[in-house]
A and B are shown apart, each in its own frame.
With several copies, the nearest count.
Chain A
Amino acid sequence: MSPLAVEVEQVSKRFRVDGHIVHALDGVSLHAAEGEFVSLVGPSGCGKSTLLNLICGLMEPDSGTIRLQGDTLPRLGRVGLMPQQDLLMPWRRVMDNLLLGPEIQRRDRQEAEQEAQALLPLFGLEGFAQSYPSQLSGGMRQRAALLRTMLAHPTVLALDEPFGALDALTRRGMRDWLLQVWERFGQTVLFVTHDVDEAIYLSDRVLVISSRPGTVALEVNVPLPRPRIQTQLDTLEAAHIRHRLLTALGL
């Protein structure tokens, strides 16, 4: 058996905020198998972004261990993160922002640019390749940030509310595109969202994080067959899962 792509074991994380201690995560354990799509839902401020940051290697846990592909080697550069704040570089045009990953990986620029160019229409960024980020709408910025993450071709993806600023239609398009890509390339995906339906539609497994200090409150498998279609969300099975998730979330 191949090792798990991501293993988080009993991880705790505290922050010091102006004197008092904020207990962000408390003994969180989770894992994602190679090629698995795992979603994280949970109240705002429960530590989801912190968890992704820890997994990416941007922080070290105060206690507990994190393994990628079975090892505890440095994690930076092994997980593709799409941060919650889009963090586009104001001094780079959209296209140059998109090509950040390929650039860092010293990949052929022309090839990467062709790939990006081909995806621009799907991301609703056609005609904006040469504009600066300040000239984009909120949703366009978010889509640019997602495209930037994807163009780095990571094998493990950590996406922090990638569709938060998108309308339902655009969102659906992006979802389906993400699933297509995922099915083709088999990345491992950690997906933070506030939309329970979205989590069900996309994931193999959904984790509910409890409010601060964050712990795993519930873990639900989503055994809906793939490829997924929108109407599967209207099945009884989906309704059941939705109910369990909403209950765990206190709704």
Chain B
Amino acid sequence: MRPRFYRAFRQALPAVALIVGLLALWELLARLLDIQEWLLPAPSAVWSAGIDSLQLLWPHVVRTLVETLLGFAVALMAGLGLGIAIDLSPLLRRAIYPLLVASQTVPTIAIAPLLVIWFGYGLLPKIIVVGLVCFFPVVVNTADGLRSASSDLLALLRTMGATRGDLFFKVRLPSALPMIFTGIKVAITYSVVGAIMGEWVGASRGLGIFMLRATNSFRTDWVFVSIFVSAVLSLGLFGLVNVVERLLQPWRFGRQEHWEELSK
């Protein structure tokens, strides 16, 4: 356990160092330049505001996390499904791709009233917004990834009498995995902001609501607390995806052999 912990620590060190450095710089500038707190609070102020508001914040965080996870699950399924469908049918690709692109150009607030009217103020509209925000990178990376499979390998499987399903599960999907995970990493990064935007459609709880209320009361320190929390959530989710990526692709992330090490 010991060396493993030590390794994880060493891995995280550069990021921690950089972040601490940036925070220190910001603190310094905030004090030296005497920036008004309601405009840009110093990290120390944000920190103590965070400590103070922990209790207040907690239910909002839970709510946003639930929305994020559910919405992301939807986005993942929709993204993979559409990406696969697009890859399987050139007709579908041509028919549906433009619509998908167009779907990303609709600002959430433009359809917010419709969302509320159709789906109310519950979880559903937030899940929809997160889904809309996140599914697109997954679709594009999945479709492009599936297309990148080696045609020679596909040919070999076909000589073995492989069905379309075989080709898909044994060649296309494994070949596409690296790109699919890239898409998922982009998507999960957007998911928390997606949930926050979803809350702005109308909600009574969630980080987005907290942020809005804090903004309105000129509690910029609280706004930054919520930004900080959403960053932490995103990083956690992103890290999780990275772990899954490594677990699912041992041939890419296995213990490095001498050869590979050097050829970097």
Contacts and interface: CB of A to CB of B under 8 A. Distances in A.
A6 B175 CA distance: 34
Interface residues of B, number: 28
Contacts of B177: 91
Interface in A137-172: 152
Given A87-B156, A104-B166, A58 B161 contact: no
Contacts of B171: 89
B224 to A, nearest CB: 44
B170 A103 contact: yes
Interface in A116-136: 132, 134-135
B166 to A, nearest CB: 5
A90 B249 CA distance: 11
Contacts of B257: 15-16, 135
A92 B150 CA distance: 15
B263 interface: yes
A104 B157 contact: yes
Contact of A83 (B152, B170, B174, B255): B152
Contacts of A87: 150, 152-153, 156
B155 interface: yes
Contact of B158 (A15, A76, A105): A76
Contact of B161 (A60, A83, A105): A105
Given A83-B156, A103-B170, A59 B251 contact: no
Interface in B219-264: 249, 251-252, 254-255, 257-259, 262-263
Interface string B174-197: 110100000000000000000000
B160 interface: yes
Contacts, number: 75
Contact of A104 (B152, B161, B254): B161
A92 B252 CA distance: 11
A187 to B, nearest CB: 15
Contact of B152 (A78, A85, A92): A85
B251 A132 contact: yes
B259 A77 contact: no
A39 to B, nearest CB: 20
A79 B166 CA distance: 17
28 contacts: A15-B258, A16-B257, A56-B159, A57-B158, A57-B159, A58-B159, A58-B259, A58-B263, A76-B159, A77-B158, A77-B159, A77-B162, A79-B159, A80-B160, A83-B152, A83-B155, A89-B153, A89-B171, A89-B174, A91-B174, A91-B177, A100-B157, A101-B160, A104-B157, A104-B163, A104-B166, A104-B170, A135-B257
Interface of B: 150, 152-153, 155-163, 166, 170-171, 174-175, 177, 249, 251-252, 254-255, 257-259, 262-263
